[in-house]
Structure 1
Amino acid sequence: MPLLFGTAKFNEQEHLTIGGCDTVVLAEKYGTPLFVYDVAHIRERARGFKQTFNSLGVKNKVIYASKAFCCLAMYKLLEEEELGCDVVSGGELYTAIKGGMSPENIEFHGNNKTKEELSYAVDQNVGMIIIDNFYEIDLLSTILKEKGKQQKVMFRITPGVDAETHEYILTGQVDSKFGFDVMSGQATDALEKILADENLLLKGAHCHIGSQIFSAEGFLAAVEKMLLILNDWKKTFGYTVDILNMGGGFGVQYTEADDPLEPEAFVKAIVNGVKGQCELLDYAFPEIWIEPGRSIIAEAGTTIYSIGSQKVIPDVRHYVSVDGGMGDNIRPALYDAVYDGFLANRISTEATQESRIVGKYCESGDVLIKNIELPPMNPEDLFAMTSTGAYGYSMANNYNRNLKPAVVFVENGQDKLAIRRETFEDLIALDCE
């Protein structure tokens, strides 16, 4: 039986349905490739984080990491669910505001925010800016002085914790482009500099140890290190944080081999870890913020492709081509991300064969799934690739001048276009003759 998430199931016609909508009908209506988002599943995941915090009696803020996937409809949904969001560019910030996000519930991340981006954030009264480096301290301070304003900030530190994940998405170790290093004393120097600046209102500290993390051990290690650091600052400077932001990175299931914790388990582990350290060190219990992105959106997304050409090399490989590829999901090519999938338009009892699902892009590395057991397939069959909700569309590109797919939200039997499919006219809209 295929690995199904959220409201996904097969109907009497043996068609995959999501949110009560037939994906065969959706493919006919919107074309393929097509991203289909299960709104009920998004709501369930978002509420799971918030409700767990609230049940533990902890003051908190759940902040969706926009980089996983964002659009106007997504921000509208986040506002409905009373989640905050983080942004890492002026473009994400602009979209969040246009999508109806309350500026107070937006936090601005990034290791190289430009003067224009920071000015825009200050003008929009963004609730929190996460300072990432010394250059940014000076730049933001100058902007605030020019505008005669103050800004709530946190600062990102790298506590020296290695999580069990791919090196490309590992961020909490000493050797990282993000944040202030603790071991070298940079974090302490940053603290002093921020505290001395009357335009910067320091609310707390932030750390993020990586992404797609399956156990709580890395977070517990980070909590322990963070509280030891914060306690040292309390003794030295008399400063205690109002907010401890532990970032995100909670793992999700891409294939049956993946066995991540439920989001609620991560929350409980972090809260209990902070409580234990605070009691041990006699440190005032802070408000806890987290930044889930992938863990809210990944499993809610499914990409529907149409099968095209096939190539059989006897005793070597069976290639099955789809009408998308690395332009709508670059993760397999970028860092060997593994996905699962199945036919969406029929359930077959025929013997399976090992196949390689490849895209239409002019690259040998355009491989979506290296090896998968599938029944014989025909042109125009629909192939569903699961757990594509995070970093699929958000990293989509126009390589080979292919069009970016459409995105549709489905819930309670209703489908709503969230992002229309690009047109050839869109491709040349910015070209100059």
Structure 2
Amino acid sequence: MPEDVNALHPGLWPTTAALDDHGVLTIGGVPVSEIAERHGTPAYVFDEVDFRARCAAFREAFHDFDVYYAGKAFLSRTTARIAEEAGLSLDVCTEGELAYAQAVGFPAERILMHGNNKSEAELAAALEYGVGRIVVDSFEELDRLHALVPHFPGSRPRVLLRVTVGVRADTHAYIATAHEDQKFGFSLVGGEAETAIRRVLDDGLLELRGLHSHIGSQILGTAGFEAAAKRLLELRARIAREGAELPELDLGGGFGIAYTPADEPTGPKEMADILRTVVARECAALGVGVPRLAIEPGRAIAGPSGVTLYRVGTVKHRQGIRTFVAVDGGMSDNVRTALYDASYSVRLAGRVSDAAPVLVRVVGKHCDAGDVVVRDDHLPGDVRPGDLLAVPGTGAYCRSLAHNYNQIPRPPVVAVADGRTREIVRRETIADLMGLDVG
């Protein structure tokens, strides 16, 4: 049982989150009651100051790395601009994400193009814009690149090869991406990685800059990253003994955040120190030089910067079980609970209460029993229709994975800073949905 359901637990909320004299949650100096009145609910609230600070923290901690903001976590013109201003590079994985980078003039040489099944059109768009790195995921993709290069005279794309290193990260199975039984990369165990390296080196059409690994997402510790780095460095050393130097090593992203008080993620500085030390030690043991390192944080930057604001519609007390609190959003704006069994926290945001806390499940308005936003947390026992609820840690992957189940329009993204609000992504309307139906 929580000590105080009215309190803001440290580590879960954006840095500007606070409670005013009436117990109303404020973010960026704006009471959430005002946000709800101006922009409606549900709404994604984006703390611009917090996002900037987290970009700067990663840039400072990983000062000797290339730091690619993983746009898949949450990409908009605003986040792309802020990342660029903070000195970060950008990781995109589709033609659509690349279009956002182009829209703000993001420097092409600081863009890395991902994707496990990039189409010819996507690769052509990357070559046309001149992205700095393409992460190659398959032999078929090598074939597509080889076929495209002659159409871009003078081009010699710089590539990294994604290696499946056989590390099973301590995370949900759907977001563990480096063990053998999944779709990404060239297998290290099966010998595909070495075959791919030799093919690129022999063909000479592409400039092989190095190796890439991504072990998964929402990883709170460092053991998985350390194991992946060791295996990549051993492969790199074998290639070096054959006379080919691979100057870069990208260790991917997946750095976790706190969604509940039980989560204790490793911070940027500690993570940087550990990875830097592990790589240096392994390279010394292998007798090879230290490569230029890269990482791809997304969730760890965007996640804590976002809070989703809901309004309560119905409350059902199931005696001896729990209280079900239904809100005006649900799995269409946050599918992670249903998809990944993700855990979230919730707080009464529009008032303070002295009622005893009760165990609640915050559910949505969709016609699906799996439509759960917060599986287990506590709220004051007098929670009632009309109340505002706030769910922290929703800045990453909630808007990115949002959809229109039951033909519900997606919420806006409302940026807050210095006591002001502005919509950086507007709310969808029924007219938007109908406009796509041309039948």
Q: TM-score, normalised by structure 1?
A: 0.97
- 1:335 equivalent to 2:335? Answer no
Give yes or no for contact 1:214–1:260 (8 Å, CA) kept in 2: yes
Aligned-residue offset at 1:199: 2.3
Aligned partner of 1:253 in structure 2 is: 258
| C-alpha distance after superposition, 1:60-103 (max 9, x if no partner) | 21101111111111111111112111111111111121133111
Give deviations 1:355-380, integer Å, cap 9, x for gaps.
Answer: 21100011011011122211111221
Structure 1, residues 19-46: CA drift from partner, whole Å, max 9, x if none? 1121110111010111111122112221
Looking at structure 2, the residues matched to 199 and 413 of structure 1 have their Cα atoms a distance apart, in angstroms, of: 53
Once the two structures are superposed, residues 371-422 of structure 1 have per-residue CA deviations (whole angstroms, 9 ceiling, x without a partner) of 2211111221100001011110000001100010010111222222110001
Q: Secondary structure at the match of 1:298?
A: helix
Q: Look up the SS of the partner of 2:62 in the other structure.
A: helix
Rounded to whole Å, the distance in 2 between the matches of 1:131 and 1:179 is: 8
1:92 to 92, 97, 104: 97
1:231 matches 2:199? no
Matches of 2:19 and 2:78 in 1, distance apart? 26
Distance 1:371 1:171 in 2: 28
Equivalent AA in structure 2 for residue 422 of structure 1: E
Letter in 2 for 1:408: V
Asked if the contact 2:325/2:362 (under 8 Å) is kept, the reply is yes
Q: Report if aligned partners of 1:141, 1:197 keep a CA contact under 8 Å in 2.
A: no
Contact 2:255–2:300 under 8 Å retained in 1: yes
Does structure 2 conserve the Cα–Cα contact (< 8 Å) formed by 1:7 and 1:41?
yes
Aligned to 1:23: 32
Correspondence list, 1:28-427, <5 A: 28-54=37-63, 58=64, 60-148=65-153, 149-236=155-242, 238-375=243-380, 376-427=382-433
The letter for the 2-side match of 1:29 is: R
Mark the runs of 5 or more structure 1 residues left unpaired by the alignment: none
SS across alignment from 1:283: coil
- Tell me, what secondary structure is at the counterpart of 2:313? strand
Aligned equivalent of 2:3: none
1:100-129 Cα distance to aligned partner (Å, 9 max, x none): 311111111011000111111111111111
Percent of aligned pairs with the same amino acid:
40
Q: TM-score, normalised by structure 2?
A: 0.95
Is the CA contact (8 Å cut-off) linking 1:71 and 1:99 kept in structure 2? no
Distance 2:376 2:62 in 1: 40
Distance 2:200 2:326 in 1: 54
CA contact (8 A) 1:154 1:206 kept: yes
Structure 1 letter corresponding to 2:238? D
2:19 to 10, 15, 31: 10
Letter in 2 for 1:223: A
Contact 2:59 2:87 in 1 (8 A): no
Q: Partners in 2 of 1:305 and 1:131 — Cα distance?
A: 41
Partner of 2:4: none
Provide the aligned C-alpha RMSD in A.
1.2
Describe the SS at the equivalent of 2:394: coil
The question of whether the paired residues in 1 share the 8 Å contact of 2:14 and 2:306 is answered with no
CA distance in 2 between counterparts of 1:45 and 1:73 reads: 15
Do the aligned residues in 2 keep the contact of 1:240 with 1:284 (CA within 8 Å)? no
1:45–1:263 Cα contact (<8 Å) kept: no
Contact 1:2 1:341 (8 Å CA) reproduced? no
Check whether the contact 2:137–2:161 (CA below 8 A) recurs between aligned residues.
Answer: yes
Name the SS of the counterpart of 1:289 in structure 2.
strand
Q: Which amino acid aligns with 1:202?
A: L
SS at 2:435's partner residue? coil
- Residue 317 of structure 1: how far off its partner (Å): 3.5
Distance 2:62 2:316 in 1: 52
Matched AA of 2:259? Y
CA positional deviation for 1:146:
2.5
C-alpha distance in 1 between matches for 2:198 and 2:41: 54
Task: Report the Cα distance in structure 2 between the residues aligned to 1:85 and 1:348, rounded to whole angstroms.
Answer: 43
